[in-house]
């Protein structure tokens, strides 16, 4: 009898738990979910995309919703949705646009790619690759391959589609893997999208999404407004983690980092049910106050607060030529770079002027420093030979040089050599150690320098973050501030590491990957693609040629 009662009790608990997880089918009524009369509904167009260069061989359907209120004389706002038309979105958009709760918005609904063989059988589903990856490929795909096909389409009534290019006029959404995809697109390219709705988002260990909470906490806030939905019982496959736990970690990280974020937790599991119910309010919240711009927040990250000035941001410097070398710091808060055979100098005020000419076969190695073959020159005078494979050099205090190369300097007395297979080199302000890159890893190498210039005790010491879903390529050039923190140019932005090799802050730009930097005085210069930016900082960059600087230790914590 006791055994029977025990079985009945266990069955009761199981049924009670299931009942607690059951959907609330009597959700509050929202008038935005009622279909309008057909004459007031937007038009839905369709095309197939099968010529992608970013996801080769894939085919997919793209649906385009055009509201009745759209006029061809002005670009429309944009909502991109992953996995096609979710959330009964076209009905909700009909109602919210008609009521003025949402601006006139074109909807673009993108299915994930599929690869077929000659007989039409599926040989690859691309959804996880496209949506769960944390790199910027999906953003580039939308920007370069989807939206250009949408623009210029015509409705049956003859309206030509034009889309706003302003990120403030754009939102993106998706569920599950589409939810993390929507966030990743906006995170990587806040110049494309400012408003994000993610439901039952897959911020788990599939393709690096589980790293987002830490990355968000370390990264300078971006101009994003985020609405999150998830259920307490959300889990699709526990091998990858607990979905709800990671969504809560994301929401906590957004709050810490100063984002405008709204979360709606419910009793659902891994389903689009509650995401559909929340969609009207999510759209109202994301577009509230429009056309006022979505603003950047101010993070609780102590490192960011220590190095950034609250009211200072990046400023683009117009360039007369493409930056073809690394950036190098000069002594007067300026920076230099080479383009072709010309040397240019840029100032914090944004002036850019040609200041010199490189000889045939000569490379710019720093302010006043050039290399030709295995020889190093300072202001045109040779200072060292035998530097085969020279990748980088630092002019140190007391007329010394530190060269990153394969060879042995003939002028050994004043040229110290560190051997490494990359181009990245930085010297600590007190000149007790140097840092070099390590090819195809997440690490940077720290090497002790003794008083005679001997290199000792090298080890992988600094750890960099990477969301590229591939092998981390060699970092760009690097620089220290006078407090001993290291600034590294990477695909994710400028990563700032403390004395113990831990990245504690990441500075990113809407223009994308940071390829080179120079820290001169209180001004940090960065190159992103073919664009150059400068920013005034609270701290000062260390220029080794100015002499050694003793800085306070951060301890071993």
The per-residue pLDDT of the chain, averaged, comes to: 91
State the pLDDT at residue 475.
Answer: 56
Tell me: do 336 and 247 sit in the same domain: no
State the pLDDT at residue 283.
Answer: 98
Contact 217/256 with Cβ under 8 angstroms?
yes
- Final residue of a structural domain among 221, 252, 286: 286
Contact 505/496 with Cβ under 8 angstroms?
yes
Q: Which of 7-11, 68-72, 170-174, 512-516 has the lowest mean pLDDT?
A: 7-11
Q: For residues 365 and 114, what is the distance between their CA atoms, to the nearest angstrom?
A: 48
Rg (CA), the chain: 27
Tell me: do 467 and 349 sit in the same domain: yes
Q: pTM of the entire structure?
A: 0.91
Tell me: do 210 and 263 sit in the same domain: yes
Structural domain containing residue 256: 27-286
Tell me: do 228 and 323 sit in the same domain: no
In a domain? residue 15: no
Q: 3-state DSSP call for residue 10? A: helix
In a domain? residue 5: no
Residue 462 is given by DSSP the state E
Tell me: do 387 and 503 sit in the same domain: yes
H/E stretch holding 244: helix 243-256
pLDDT band at 8 (very low <50, low <70, confident <90, very high): very low
Tell me: do 58 and 133 sit in the same domain: yes
Contact 236/177 with Cβ under 8 angstroms?
no
Q: For residues 394 and 415, what is the distance between their CA atoms, to the nearest angstrom?
A: 10
Q: Is 14 exposed, middle or buried (0-12, 13-18, 19+ CB in 10 A)?
A: exposed
Tell me: do 277 and 340 sit in the same domain: no
In a domain? residue 17: no
Which among 419, 417, 418, 378 is positioned nearest to 399, based on CA atoms? 378
In a domain? residue 329: yes
What would the pLDDT profile of 91-132 be if each residue is shown by its tens digit?
999 999 999 999 999 999 999 999 999 999 999 999 999 999
Cis bond leading into 291, ω under 30°?
yes
Tell me: do 277 and 313 sit in the same domain: no
What would the pLDDT profile of 244-281 be if each residue is shown by its tens digit?
999 999 999 999 999 999 999 998 999 999 999 999 99
What would the pLDDT profile of 346-360 be if each residue is shown by its tens digit?
999 999 999 999 999
pLDDT band at 474 (very low <50, low <70, confident <90, very high): low
Tell me: do 310 and 455 sit in the same domain: yes
Q: How many domains does the chain have?
A: 2
Q: For residues 261 and 227, what is the distance between their CA atoms, to the nearest angstrom?
A: 6
Q: For residues 224 and 222, what is the distance between their CA atoms, to the nearest angstrom?
A: 6
Q: Are strands 335-339 and 122-125 parallel, antiparallel or unpaired?
A: unpaired
Tell me: do 312 and 365 sit in the same domain: yes
Which among 215, 223, 182 is positioned nearest to 199, based on CA atoms? 182
Tell me: do 328 and 407 sit in the same domain: yes
Q: Which residue has the higher pLDDT, 12 or 322?
A: 322
Q: For residues 220 and 120, what is the distance between their CA atoms, to the nearest angstrom?
A: 47
Q: For residues 342 and 353, what is the distance between their CA atoms, to the nearest angstrom?
A: 10
Q: Tokens 């106050």 appear where? A: 289
What are the tokens at 115?
């690869």
- Name the phi and psi angles at 303, rounded to 5: -65, -45
Q: For residues 330 and 345, what is the distance between their CA atoms, to the nearest angstrom?
A: 9
- Final residue of a structural domain among 259, 286, 313: 286
In a domain? residue 4: no
For residue 5, pLDDT over 60 is answered with: no
In a domain? residue 250: yes
Tell me: do 529 and 426 sit in the same domain: yes
- Final residue of a structural domain among 253, 286, 319: 286
Q: 3-state DSSP call for residue 7? A: helix
In a domain? residue 8: no
CATH code for position 413: 2.120.10.30
In a domain? residue 59: yes
């Amino acid at each position: 009898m006791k055994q029977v009662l025990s079985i009945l009790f266990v069955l009761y608990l199981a049924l009670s738990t299931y009942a607690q997880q059951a959907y609330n089918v009597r959700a509050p009524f929202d008038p935005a979910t009622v279909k309008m009369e057909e004459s007031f509904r937007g038009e839905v167009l369709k095309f197939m995309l099968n010529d992608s260069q970013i996801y080769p061989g894939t085919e997919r359907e793209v649906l385009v919703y055009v509201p009745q209120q759209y006029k061809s004389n002005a670009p429309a706002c944009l909502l991109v949705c992953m996995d096609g038309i979710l959330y009964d979105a076209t009905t909700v958009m009909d109602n919210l646009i008609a009521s003025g709760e949402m601006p006139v918005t074109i909807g673009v609904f993108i299915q994930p790619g599929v690869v077929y063989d000659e007989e039409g059988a599926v040989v690859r589903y691309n959804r996880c690759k496209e949506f769960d990856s944390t790199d910027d490929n999906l953003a580039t795909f939308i920007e370069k391959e989807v939206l250009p096909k949408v623009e210029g389409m015509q409705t049956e009534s003859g309206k030509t589609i034009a889309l706003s290019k302003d990120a403030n006029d754009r939102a993106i959404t998706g569920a599950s893997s589409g939810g993390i995809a929507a966030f990743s697109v906006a995170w990587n390219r806040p110049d494309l999208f400012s408003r994000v709705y993610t439901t039952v988002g897959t911020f788990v260990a599939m393709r690096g999404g589980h790293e987002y909470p830490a990355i968000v906490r370390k990264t300078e806030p971006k101009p994003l407004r985020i609405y999150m939905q998830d259920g307490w019982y959300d889990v699709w496959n526990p091998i990858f983690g607990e979905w709800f736990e990671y969504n809560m970690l994301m929401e906590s990280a957004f709050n810490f980092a100063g984002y405008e974020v709204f979360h709606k937790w419910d009793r659902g599991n891994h389903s689009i049910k509650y995401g559909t119910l929340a969609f009207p309010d999510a759209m109202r919240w994301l577009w509230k106050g429009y056309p006022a711009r979505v603003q950047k927040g101010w993070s609780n990250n102590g490192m960011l607060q220590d190095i950034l000035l609250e009211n200072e941001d990046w400023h683009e410097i117009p360039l007369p030529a493409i930056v073809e070398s690394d950036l190098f710091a000069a002594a007067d808060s300026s920076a230099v770079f080479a383009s072709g055979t010309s040397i240019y100098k840029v100032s914090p005020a944004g002036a850019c002027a040609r200041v010199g000419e490189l000889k045939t076969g000569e490379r710019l190695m720093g302010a006043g420093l050039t290399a030709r073959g295995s020889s190093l020159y300072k202001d045109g005078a040779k200072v060292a030979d035998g530097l085969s494979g020279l990748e980088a050099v630092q002019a140190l205090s007391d007329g010394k040089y530190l060269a990153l190369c394969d060879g042995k300097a003939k002028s050994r007395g004043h040229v110290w050599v560190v051997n490494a297979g990359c181009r990245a080199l930085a010297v600590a302000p007190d000149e007790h150690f140097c840092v070099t890159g390590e090819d195809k890893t997440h690490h940077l190498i720290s090497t002790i320098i003794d008083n005679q210039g001997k290199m000792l005790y090298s080890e992988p010491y600094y750890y960099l973050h990477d969301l590229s879903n591939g092998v981390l390529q060699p970092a760009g050039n690097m620089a220290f501030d006078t407090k001993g923190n290291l600034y590294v140019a990477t695909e994710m932005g400028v990563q700032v590491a403390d004395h113990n090799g831990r990245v504690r802050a990441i500075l990113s730009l809407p223009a994308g990957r940071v390829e080179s930097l120079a820290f001169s005085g209180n001004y940090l210069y960065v190159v992103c693609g073919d664009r150059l930016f400068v920013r005034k900082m609270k701290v000062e960059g260390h220029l080794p040629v100015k002499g050694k600087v003793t800085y306070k230790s951060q301890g071993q914590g």
